[in-house]
Every structure is written in C-alpha cells, then in structure tokens.
Amino acid sequence: MQASRARLFKEYKEVQREKAVDPDIQLVCDDSNIFKWTALIKGPTETPYEGGVFQLAFSVPEQYPLQPPQVRFLTKIFHPNVHFKTGEICLDILKNAWSPAWTLQSVCRAIIALMAHPEPDSPLNCDSGNLLRSGDIRGFQSMARMYTRLAASPKKG
C-alpha cells in the first residue's frame, strides 16, 4: 500500500505540473482519500461528443499500479462501450491489457480516444452498438449528440 501511495503522490505532482499541457483533461484527487479521483474530460473534436464535458470517477485499488483503477462515467453518455446506467467502461487497458506504465492521466487519454473510435463489437450499450453495427451512423451520432447536449453541456448563466 505504501508503494501505491507513493506512486499516486507522484502522479498528483505531475498532474499539477501538466495542467496547462493537456487542457482536455482536468484530473483531481479527493482531498481526504488519495485512492479516489475525479476527472473532467472534453469530448473529442469532430465527434458527437464535441463541446461536452464528461465527469469520470476513479477508484484506485491499494495494489495500484499493479492493478488497474476502476473508472466509470458519472456523466450520462450514449456510447457502445459505456454502460448507460452504471457508466462502466469496456476498455482493454482497464481489464486484461493493463500495465503499470499507464497513469491516471494516460487512462483519461485512452478514454478520450475510445470516445472518438467506438468498438461496437464489444458493446455494453447494445442500442448504441447495434446502430453502429447496422451502419446507422447518422442515428448513432444524433443520439450521442442529444445526450451530450442534455447531460454534458456546460450550463450557461
């Protein structure tokens, strides 16, 4: 557990240093628990998620970085690889392809890449996956855009 704390503290310092370097990711550690983090990620450009800001919750195990963090969307998102109700993310690096070389910041980058390049063949959201698999790109994009506007658009005023 001491090694995981040291690693997370190091990542925390890097996040503070890199804030201006990666404006699409805002990673924040819980004040009272270094094993709980949240992130705000911007929807990738030229996707139905563009203009949206999505909140992620990280639960980091005490065996980190030997085990991956649990990450889920807190913001509703219409995406084939994200469970609509729970926010669970189907991404290989969060399961069997995890490596201790990954950081919480690089996990956020991988999730943004997944948003831009969905994998409809391993869906957690079957409605979304079926639209893409059947070739209804317009239907998928309009649903994804609608949920982005409803759930992930910054409030004005």
CA distances for 124 relative to 50, 89, 101, 110, angstroms: 22, 8, 26, 17
Instruction: Place 17 in a pLDDT band, splitting at 50, 70 and 90.
Output: confident
Residue recorded with tokens 């030997």 = 66
pLDDT of 155 higher than 80? no
> For residue 53, what are the contacts with CB-CB under 8 A and spacing of at least 6?
40, 41, 42, 43, 75, 152, 153, 154
Provide mean pLDDT across the span 14-22.
Answer: 81
- What ranges do the domains of the chain cover? 1-152
Provide mean pLDDT across the span 38-62.
Answer: 97
29, 90, 108, 126: the catalytic one is: 90
**Over the stretch 69-116, which tens digit does the pLDDT of each residue have?**
999 999 999 999 999 999 999 999 999 999 999 999 999 999 999 999
Identify any residues that bridge with 71 across adjacent strands, giving them in sequence order: 58
**Over the stretch 114-143, which tens digit does the pLDDT of each residue have?**
999 999 998 999 999 999 999 999 999 999
Task: In whole angstroms, give the CA distance from residue 70 to residue 45.
Answer: 26
> For residue 88, what are the contacts with CB-CB under 8 A and spacing of at least 6?
72, 82, 124
pLDDT of 32 higher than 60? yes
Q: With the CA atoms of 26, 155, 52 and 41 taken in that order, what torsion angle do they form, in degrees rounded to the nearest 10?
A: 10
Q: What is the pLDDT of residue 115?
A: 98
pLDDT of 144 higher than 60? yes
Q: What is the pLDDT of residue 156?
A: 62
Q: Which CATH number fits domain 1-152: 3.10.20.600, 3.40.50.150, 2.30.30.60, 3.10.110.10?
A: 3.10.110.10
> Does the annotation mark 126 as catalytic?
no
Q: What is the pLDDT of residue 53?
A: 97
Q: What is the pLDDT of residue 125?
A: 97
